[in-house]
Amino acid sequence: MQKPWEGRFRERTEKFVEDFTQSVSFDKELALWDIKQSKAHVKTLQKAGILPEEEASLLLKGLEGIEEEVRQGRFDFRVELEDVHMNIEAELIKRLGEVGGKLHTARSRNDQVATDEKLYIKDSIGEVLELLRELRKSLVRFAEKSVDFVMPSYTHLQRAQPIRVAHYFLAYREIFLTDAERFINAYRLADCLPLGSGAVAGVDFPLDRFYTAELLGFNRLCRNSMQATADRDFILDLLYACAVCGMHLSRLSEDLILWSSEEFGFVELPDRLCTGSSIMPQKKNPDVLELIRGKTGRLYGNLLSLLTTLKGLPMAYNRDLQEDKEPLFDSLRAIKDCLTGMRLVLEGMSLKEGRLYSSAGSFSLMTDLANYLVLKGLPFRQAHKVAGSITAYLLEKGKKPEELSLEELKSFSELYEEDALRLLKPEASADRRKVFGGTAREEVLRRLEVAKREEGLS
């Protein structure tokens, strides 16, 4: 197979080197965006008077034919042709003859590959944002179904205070909103056109780069040809957004895995999303959630891998940069799968309300007994001490707070009255937290309305 650079070389490329340096086995993923870019490049060359109209339209037709084959999965990518860019160019030359060789005028693979990647990333982020939106919608729907139920919240994985179940799911909706912002930021940073930068110094043809940017939907142009070809920071930003979002999905998975255990017994996962054991007949394992949690490893790894590749590279393009693609493709695939998996879990999961309720009471209510005294004028520190002594007393007696009598309460503080006993209910505790962002039913309902509106659900 002939190489584009054969004029300069006296030896054939070693087979090992061909295999070692090729990227087509993975960068073929960029093929459609490479063609899209090439079509815009042809138009720009024509506008600059470098390509006559007939040749430009031949090239465009040729590219469209190849595009069709790629879409149908029929295009034959060949390792000897190294990467996706040379595969497509070689095929164009094969189909059109000499005129095909004009496509690469005023372009280097260095500005070409960065442009492909940015086009690819912008489209992929669109997909991720859509999946994030679907996930947030399922969180909001779950919240809507669970406003009437209470459960314990945890700090240090110890029961803390009763909350409305919906409050928990709306918390994750807020978290995934911040993830969307990180992806939007990555989009914005990728939205800057490298093409026209050539190999490193800019091209020596009068290309109207603003026209190319318009054709390709870029809002900005890279303003320095060296930065344009050396830069892969826009991929780092995307990998970071994937890593953080993966971490959030992992934490949510961890909760749901715990909650689905017999020990917690808070939720039931649908059979269709679980797997069994080949040896223990009783098992129903939350594998989807475990794998979502597990994927976080590669999401972090991919970010660290590219950060390390970039460290110490001299200005400008170096072949090391080819190592940017597998982490990029891998993280995008993983995050899309995880978002889909989590949405399916939420759509199929059901709550075990009784178990949630019975876990929400008891010692989770001790803050309320303290705050009762605060409302009667006792400084919080003293009130905390009183409630602490009641806790110690209950633990000694093996009693629950709900079983306290007024006399017992009064023996700790004369300030307790009959109405203190009514505090000792999880829903009463939750519903006193009416502060903006708190877990009271009325406040949760208010937040739910806003969430529904923002997610287009009402």
Least distance between ligand ARG and beta carbon 282 (Å): 51
Is residue 87 within a helix (H) or strand (E), and if so which, with residue range? helix 84-96
Using the minimum distance from each CB to ligand ARG, give the nearer residue, 115 or 322.
322
3-state secondary structure at position 313: coil
Reply yes or no on whether 429 is catalytic: no
DSSP string of 419-444, one letter each residue:
HHHHT-SHHHHHHT--STT---HHHH
Can you read off the two tokens belonging to residue 125?
Answer: 């982020």
Distance, CA of 234 to CA of 179 (rounded, Å): 16
- Measured from the CB atom, is 110 or 253 closer to ligand ARG? 110
CB of 353 to ligand ARG, least distance (A): 54
Antiparallel, parallel or unpaired: β 350-351 and 158-164:
unpaired
Those residues whose C-beta lies under 8 Å from the C-beta of residue 199, and which sit 6 or more positions away, are 108, 110, 111, 229, 317
Structure tokens at 339: 């978002």
Comparison of 172 and 317: residue with beta carbon closer to ligand ARG? 317
- Phi and psi angles of residue 399, each rounded to the nearest 5 degrees, phi first: -110, 160
Helical axes 441-454 vs 109-145, angle rounded to 10°: 140
Compare residues 30 and 346 and give the one whose CB is closer to ligand ARG. Answer: 30
> For residue 290, what is the enclosing H or E element?
helix 287-310
Angstrom distance (rounded) from CA 217 to CA 372? 61
Residue closest to 162 by CA, chosen among 352, 350, 359: 359
Beta carbon nearer to ligand ARG, 113 or 151: 113
Q: Give SS3 for 218.
A: coil
Helices (H), 146-263: 165-190, 209-216, 225-230, 233-259
Nearest to 57 by CA among 99, 110, 3, 120: 99
Residue 38 is a catalytic residue: no
Separation of CA 185 from chain center? 12
CB of 113 to ligand ARG, least distance (A): 4
Contact 63, 38 (CB under 8 A): yes
Three-class SS state of 270: coil
Q: Say how far apart CA 19 and CA 17 lie, in whole Å.
A: 5
- Choose the catalytic residue: 261, 277, 389, 458: 277
Provide the binding-site residues for ligand ARG, judged by CB under 6 A: 23, 27, 83, 109-110, 113, 317, 319, 321-322
Closer CB to ligand ARG, 111 or 179, in the complex: 111
If the CB atoms of residues 319 and 381 are measured against ligand ARG, the closer one turns out to be 319
Q: Which helix (H) or strand (E) holds 394?
A: helix 380-397
Which residues are part of the catalytic machinery? Answer: 156, 277
